[in-house]
Amino acid sequence: MKKETFWTLAVFLILCGVIVATCCSKNDKEKEITPDDNSAFVTLTDVVPDVILELRYYGTYNFVGARIDGYQEPVALLTKVAADSLLAVSEDLKAQGYRLKIYDAYRPQEGVDHFVRWAEDVTDTLMKPYFYPDLDKSVLFDQDYIAEKSGHTRGSTLDLTLFDMTTEKELDMGGTFDFFGPESHPDFCGNPDTGEYTGDNGKSPTGQAITAEQFANRMILRKAMLSHGFKAFDTEWWHFCLKDEPFPDTYFTFPVKRIK
């Protein structure tokens, strides 16, 4: 074997070993953790102290109209790696004059189960005027507004918006958090990939639209999140998940309460 060929083969084998070791390490880490183990999580405000919390599922102003099971304290939890990435987002946006407002982060499976029970009871429409005025509750499962599993339960997904430090008000996104309808889609009235506002509201069942400024506000949040390791959700402008989430197959069960 030629010397050059030997060293090429050696380097190739070393690289293969590194790749395999990295993959095995990540997989082994997920196998080691159990759904009731919060050791890889942090209380978000311990890492990103400037965030504003408006935790909808700890309160009653949400699409259910009641505190959601599993939310024992008004705190937001995330995996440590997701919280570190969100800190970078926060620093980026603070330089632009904004702060992050968090609606939800880690969601225990108990909370998801509560959503499912609520959706199965089609007679409970207490919050319909606020969150799903244009939908019959019976379609929530079929249209994927409610599901038995949620990315939030894996610990690296969160729902959020922006607070304008100049006006001291929440930035106008042209729609409320958790509104069930096409008006909440990132591509409503524009192209989120290019940031172009088109005004096309053809998806809205009532002909509603958002303004160019409201679309641009959504894009400020989206650009910052995508720039720091998160990926967007195609039906909710407020929903983002860490691209390289550490527990892609684990749905955690521990309650939402401060991690000390």
Q: Please write the tens of the pLDDT for every residue from 12-24.
A: 544 555 444 455 4
The answer to whether residues 183 and 208 touch, using CB atoms and an 8 Å cutoff, is yes
Q: What per-residue confidence (pLDDT) applies to 26?
A: 52
Residues in the chain: 260
Residues contacting 59, CB < 8 A, separation 6+: 67
46 and 141 share a domain? Answer: yes
Active site residue 236: yes
85 and 13 share a domain? Answer: no
235 and 134 share a domain? Answer: yes
Chain-wide mean pLDDT for the chain?
92
In-domain check, residue 8: yes
Longest dimension (CA), the chain: 78
Strand partners, 242: 230
116 and 221 share a domain? Answer: yes
pLDDT band at 2 (very low <50, low <70, confident <90, very high): low
Distance of alpha carbon 46 from alpha carbon 156, whole angstroms: 16
Q: What per-residue confidence (pLDDT) applies to 31?
A: 73
Q: What is the pTM of this model?
A: 0.89
Residue 116 domain boundaries: 40-242
91 and 188 share a domain? Answer: yes
The residue among 165, 152, 27 whose CA lies nearest residue 82 is: 152
100 and 19 share a domain? Answer: no
Among the listed residues 54, 183, 236, 245, the single catalytic one is 236
Domain count of the fold of the chain = 2
